[in-house]
Amino acid sequence: MTFLATDPLAASAGPAGAAMGTASTSQEARAGSQGQKATAAAASGPSPEQWDAAVALVEQAVAAGTTIGLLAHVNPDGDALGSALALGLALQSRGARVVVSFEAVPFGVPANLRFLPGQHMIVAPEQFPDDVPLVITFDTGSLDRLGVLAPVAATTPAVLVIDHHRSNTGFGTDLLLDVTAASTTEVVAALVDKLGVPLSEELATALYVGLVTDTGSFRYSATSPESHELAARLLRAGVRHAEVNLLVWDTRPLGYLPLLATALGRVKLWGDVVWTWVSVDDLEAAGVGLEEAESIIDVVRTAEQSQVAVVLKQDVDGSWRVSTRSRGKVDVGAACGLLGGGGHQLAAGFTSRDDAATTLEKFRAAVARTAPLTS
Ligand code: AMP
Ligand code: MN
Ligand code: MN
């Protein structure tokens, strides 16, 4: 299966593309005219033509006064929501009408992101207008990652995809994909600059949250000199970084602590995979929502005997949301791609309807079929 090392798209384009391949003819015509599919896997950032097309699309919508729909991926993290709110604030400052949405069940902003500026723009998927001429998606590698909002993006005439996932399938009509960016907010920051919008404290804070969450506070390998340069600009624009980081990383409901204890108490090492799980019953006993289970992987992955860490989180419908992390040798993005999910080489995920043991077995089998990372 050596193709995985050279063609990451091959691992993930199938399920999403096939399942949601309902793009309108006008969408296909736009995408085709820009050679989008061929450039989706480019190792660097967007081409000058892609930047020009994206800026023109946004400027036209602002000038026309039509509502612009901004969509984050399901159960949005700091990067997805920070990106959508940042561009929303920028567009509002230019006089545009914007609406931000995403799928989450039950619907709501995760507790530790409720301080993000721009929440007034957020509506539940049921309230999302069905006639917006332009939709922009953030941090979303494939159409299915929009959940119940996927049909909206599949049928809207113009869809600008802003992302940094190597596994991006190239959906939409216009693409700003930078696989070298540590966060989608880095790409959004560049777009905000091209739109000539100055960085207010609020806008900078939304960008900063995406940057610190996706880089793990500038620790992960995707962190670049550009990430630090952007952080410096954002701090100069007024971001209160100590306050923001306290809320993002170090503020949890009390029930998080017993939940963490339960999850860590049943950690197991299987070969070089360290893993644990959190059930719906565990969440109920701790009195917290699924969002509180998201950061458990950050503790589990510290086991030095492991190459890969896995946390299975049970959703209300009984399915497992699986988070995976690699210490550097295993391409978990490719492995998760084989199971219908995706992500980055060192941080990825998928959804499973099998029981926990079968899910882990299938993941280990997928890892075995994946070419190891070399550097
Ligand atoms: P998480 O473990 O949820 O923090 O996700 C790690 C990375 O994998 C992020 O870039 C996610 O966007 C991506 N990811 C997680 N779950 C999925 C999925 N089911 N399909 C595609 N990508 C995913
Ligand atoms: Mn994300
Ligand atoms: Mn991201």
Q: What is the pLDDT of residue 29?
A: 58
Residue 347, ligand 1, Cβ within 6 A: yes
Nearest to 199 by CA among 232, 224, 172, 154: 232
Q: Is the bond into 106 cis (omega within 30 degrees of 0)?
A: yes
pLDDT tens for 258-283 read 999 999 999 999 999 999 999 999 99
Tell me: do 236 and 266 sit in the same domain.
no
Domain stops at, among 223, 249, 275: 249
Tell me: do 220 and 282 sit in the same domain.
no
For the chain, the farthest-separated pair of C-alpha atoms sits apart, in whole angstroms, at 58
pLDDT tens for 114-132 read 999 999 999 999 999 989 9
| DSSP, residue by residue, 190-232 | HHHHHTT----HHHHHHHHHHHHHHTTTTTSTT--HHHHHHHH
Residue 220 lies in a domain: yes
Residue 342, ligand 1, Cβ within 6 A: yes
Q: What is the pLDDT of residue 313?
A: 98
pLDDT exceeds 60 at position 3 = no
Residue 306, ligand 1, Cβ within 6 A: no
Mutate to test the pocket of ligand 1, among 145, 162, 301, 346 (most ligand atoms within 8 A of CB): 145
Tell me: do 238 and 356 sit in the same domain.
no
pLDDT exceeds 60 at position 21 = no
Q: What is the pLDDT of residue 44?
A: 79
Query: Which ligand sits closest to the CA of 81?
Result: 2
Residue 333, ligand 1, Cβ within 6 A: no
pLDDT exceeds 60 at position 173 = yes
Tell me: do 121 and 266 sit in the same domain.
no
CATH classification at residue 290: 3.10.310.30
pLDDT exceeds 90 at position 289 = yes
Listed range (10-24, 117-131, 359-373) with the worst mean pLDDT: 10-24
**Cα of 343 from ligand 2 centre, angstroms:** 8
Residue 172, ligand 1, Cβ within 6 A: no
To the nearest whole percent, how much of the chain has pLDDT over 90?
Answer: 87
Q: What is the pLDDT of residue 30?
A: 58
Residue 20 lies in a domain: no
Range of the domain at 227: 25-249
The predicted model gives 176-192 an average pLDDT of 98
> pTM for the complete prediction?
0.91
Domain stops at, among 249, 278, 305: 249
pLDDT exceeds 80 at position 4 = no
Total number of domains in the chain: 2
Residue 373 lies in a domain: no
Nearest to 286 by CA among 315, 252, 259, 313: 259
Q: Whose CA is nearest to atom 11 of ligand 1?
A: 343
